[in-house]
Chain A
């Protein structure tokens, strides 16, 4: 079973992802950027779902650091953000994320992306 790290500060939205993915993946959770880096280093997840607006360290910074870390750089990062304005995706991609989804989450699209990046 593959491991997905979910980085999301809003408990309700974290819970939603848990319910959506919990049956099929091992899930590791983090509520801010710093925690995300720690969890990633510990758990070596197969994929990271990253929110952007986060306390302490935001998702942009966390993604940048993940991608700067040799050991973690190869883990695909899919940003899931409520920042859905034009330019938001570009801004996220410059931090090194591999894919971009807007909230509210389109389930179908999410599953397609997971399939694409996890290759199963």
Chain B
């Protein structure tokens, strides 16, 4: 395999790295989710995600705070549905159907639900269905919140209205007649009683004296207006002392009787008690005001939330929405979002009903970010600064206060925008009229400030997440290219440089490599001025260049300002100037501490690379190093396998030649010996004849040796094939025993066959099985001087065990492990006594393994040896 040795460790390292980054990205996504939760929390709603097909539902944790029911209680959609008031069920279902059919743009329904304590409360649920291609709703996401309080306000409003209606039908309490000429006032008894009006006081003056001082001018004007003919009648509502220490509201309706000159001589009219109606009206107005205020505030916050959720990538729309909403809620005011920027505070958004004032106020920014100014103090000290009346200020913020008085404001509030322990900005309200903000207004302002923070955080998280996803994608892509181009670094370098250009705004990006001459050469380069750039190479790997320095010091070298920055090597500065680069960064490519080169990225503007960018650049540098190392390994392995192939061919050729060259003289040795033995037996002395026998045996031994070596090399080269067939195991063992019988020292050694009854058929290469068993038996025969050789055959669990147990010399424990090695015999001297090539056991074991089995040995010195061949009953293919 081409992929081996060093590379996996490096690739594992970057896998770990990748895993870490993935984990970080997931964490960020969770943060985004949590942020969203906070957004929903601001309007106190729980988010749900309903899989319609599976009818399964997910609730966010906030659902507990929103409707007092935990996600554990609301495991299935039915858990919630069953809590809905039976009377509201049809409406609820109808709203769903309408939305699923596409009749409504979104699902929205108010209904009663059973709270945890068993009481009925009101819920408002929103949702939007997500549809598949065919338009069928497959999922619905939205939020659910408790609106019981809102319903109460609505309720009391309705009640007030009812009361008002009741009151307007109030009965007439009295009739009066006023003789203008005589100055007499006549009141019906009912009226007198009602107003506790004593008879002696029945004069207009006495009546007027009873009118509430605040209402008198209006009353008088109404009378005069009628007298002068401006009004067709007197119709006026006013308060009048009821004679019991209180006031009653009355409606007076009268009409003047005029003489020929048109002068009013008499007025007749009716007095109605409208106290109740008035009270109801006031209450109604108050309720209306309250409802209006609550509604406006809710609308304002909701509006901002909508903007927040629709602009996750930009804070500006959110800031604009905040100041716009603020303007609606604070009369005669200017509202601004201000953000710190370096050592200043700048305005991000401003709203003022008067454009001129707005421009003037905007023109006063930026303010220094110091504690002398209200903005600065609010941000630096994270405190709320409230100035109810600038003209009565205590002397703090003298300059700041002068500033806003000059702009025509009297009161101001500075609300810090807090993110954890840090103020990321300040929400400012300047008012033209003095006076403190109410608690409610302050709370609202705080909500706005929180929302601004959420927007800022959202954008940051969004960018971070997007950036990190992009970066992960880029580094993942590089890894893909690495694994698909092991034999070539160019695609990897290209991919890396392309990613650097895209992710780092690189004007030029390149990769320098340390060559065999120990100097830096261009490995790859993307960007303009290539020729000029090439001209300065090769470069020394020293601190005279950015690349060299990064390699020598094994760290990232970063020059945010290549032209003016300190410590920029002259060559680097010169190079940057040549190719129009203002900011440059170098990351060394290191492999096991050895510098292989460096990646550099140059920008056409002065700027710092972020930590994240630096980390990614390092990753790219590592990946480039991996690619180079891969290529080196690949070449090495290619070379090695080529050498191996040649060596193997040489070996085969050598074996063939050896075989041929040895057989040729052996042919003569064996052939002539046989002729002599056959034709001269009678004429030769017995001793000489025996000598000839020894020559023949030696020749044959040599031939066996040659054959064994060839066998072994064929097995090693995988050129021996297994030819399985069905055989009777007992018959094969019998054959083997018969073959070996002549070798057994018949007088002193017994060959015993101990086969389990009914040995089955085997599916095996019979020839190889025979070769193994004969080898084991002939070994036993050779080494056993007296006693027995037992050939045993057993079958168990689909496996055959054939054992050859002898009563020979046995094998010393320290040699047991060696007897299967080539040319090993337990006792080196035994070769001379027993013959054998020293390859038999090696071949036997290899053949056994080739057929999916093995040979094991048990032996004690002087106690004999048992060799056990195990084979599968059915040969199951190459091992």
Q: Which residues of A contact B (CB under 8 A)?
A: 10, 12-13, 16, 19-20, 53, 82-86, 102-105, 107
Contacts of B661 in A (CB 8 A): 82
Contacts of A53 in B (CB 8 A): 660
By the criterion CB–CB under 8 Å, are A104 and B659 in contact? no
Query: How many angstroms between the C-alpha atoms of A90 and B97 in the bound complex?
Result: 84
By the criterion CB–CB under 8 Å, are B666 and A16 in contact? no
Contacts of B845 in A (CB 8 A): none
DSSP majority for the B interface? helix
Output the nearest chain A residue to B669 by Cβ-Cβ distance. Answer: A104
By the criterion CB–CB under 8 Å, are A82 and B668 in contact? no
By the criterion CB–CB under 8 Å, are A104 and B656 in contact? no
Instruction: Give, as a whole number of angstroms, the nearest-CB distance from A105 to chain B.
Output: 6
Output the nearest chain A residue to B671 by Cβ-Cβ distance. Answer: A16
CB contact under 8 A between A12 and B663, given known A85-B710, A86-B714: no
CB contact under 8 A between A103 and B675, given known A16-B668, A85-B656: no
By the criterion CB–CB under 8 Å, are B656 and A13 in contact? no
Interface size class of B (residues with CB under 8 A): 20 to 34
The 4 closest A-B pairs by CB, nearest first: A82-B663, A103-B667, A16-B671, A104-B667
CB contact under 8 A between A85 and B659, given known A104-B699, A107-B674: yes
Interface pairs (25), CB distance under 8 Å: A10-B664, A10-B668, A12-B668, A16-B667, A16-B671, A16-B672, A16-B675, A19-B672, A19-B675, A20-B675, A53-B660, A82-B659, A82-B661, A83-B659, A83-B660, A84-B710, A85-B710, A86-B714, A104-B663, A104-B666, A104-B669, A104-B671, A104-B703, A107-B671, A107-B674
Output the nearest chain B residue to A82 by Cβ-Cβ distance. Answer: B663
Contacts of A10 in B (CB 8 A): 664, 668
Instruction: Give, as a whole number of angstroms, the nearest-CB distance from A83 to chain B.
Output: 6
By the criterion CB–CB under 8 Å, are B668 and A84 in contact? no
By the criterion CB–CB under 8 Å, are A86 and B669 in contact? no
Contacts of B667 in A (CB 8 A): 13, 16, 82, 103-105
By the criterion CB–CB under 8 Å, are B710 and A13 in contact? no
Output the nearest chain A residue to B676 by Cβ-Cβ distance. Answer: A19
Q: Which residues of B contact A (CB under 8 A)?
A: 655-656, 659-672, 674-675, 699, 703, 710, 714, 719
Output the nearest chain A residue to B699 by Cβ-Cβ distance. Answer: A104
Query: How many angstroms between the C-alpha atoms of A16 and B668 in the bound complex?
Result: 7
User: Which residue of B659, B669, B670, B672 is within 8 Å of A84 (Cβ)?
Assistant: B659
Query: How many angstroms between the C-alpha atoms of A20 and B655 in the bound complex?
Result: 30
CB contact under 8 A between A102 and B656, given known A16-B671, A20-B675: no
Query: How many angstroms between the C-alpha atoms of A32 and B663 in the bound complex?
Result: 19
Query: How many angstroms between the C-alpha atoms of A99 and B826 in the bound complex?
Result: 42
Instruction: Give, as a whole number of angstroms, the nearest-CB distance from B765 to chain A.
Output: 16
Instruction: Give, as a whole number of angstroms, the nearest-CB distance from B679 to chain A.
Output: 9
Query: How many angstroms between the C-alpha atoms of A53 and B662 in the bound complex?
Result: 14
Query: How many angstroms between the C-alpha atoms of A42 and B719 in the bound complex?
Result: 44
5 more CB-based (< 8 A) A-B contacts, given A84-B660, A107-B674? A20-B675, A103-B667, A104-B670, A104-B703, A105-B671
User: Which residue of A20, A83, A86, A102 is within 8 Å of B671 (Cβ)?
Assistant: A20
Output the nearest chain B residue to A85 by Cβ-Cβ distance. Answer: B656
Query: How many angstroms between the C-alpha atoms of A82 and B662 in the bound complex?
Result: 8
Output the nearest chain A residue to B670 by Cβ-Cβ distance. Answer: A104
Output the nearest chain B residue to A110 by Cβ-Cβ distance. Answer: B671
Query: How many angstroms between the C-alpha atoms of A49 and B300 in the bound complex?
Result: 113
By the criterion CB–CB under 8 Å, are A84 and B675 in contact? no
- Which has the most chain A C-beta neighbours within 10 Å: B661, B667, B669, B674? B667
By the criterion CB–CB under 8 Å, are B663 and A13 in contact? no
Query: How many angstroms between the C-alpha atoms of A82 and B660 in the bound complex?
Result: 5
- Which has the most chain A C-beta neighbours within 10 Å: B661, B665, B699? B665
Contacts of B710 in A (CB 8 A): 84-85
Contacts of B656 in A (CB 8 A): 83, 85
Instruction: Give, as a whole number of angstroms, the nearest-CB distance from A26 to chain B.
Output: 19
Instruction: Give, as a whole number of angstroms, the nearest-CB distance from B607 to chain A.
Output: 72
Contacts of B674 in A (CB 8 A): 107
CB contact under 8 A between A13 and B719, given known A83-B656, A107-B674: no
By the criterion CB–CB under 8 Å, are A103 and B664 in contact? yes
Contacts of A104 in B (CB 8 A): 663, 666-667, 669-671, 699, 703
By the criterion CB–CB under 8 Å, are A86 and B663 in contact? no
Output the nearest chain A residue to B655 by Cβ-Cβ distance. Answer: A85
By the criterion CB–CB under 8 Å, are B672 and A103 in contact? no
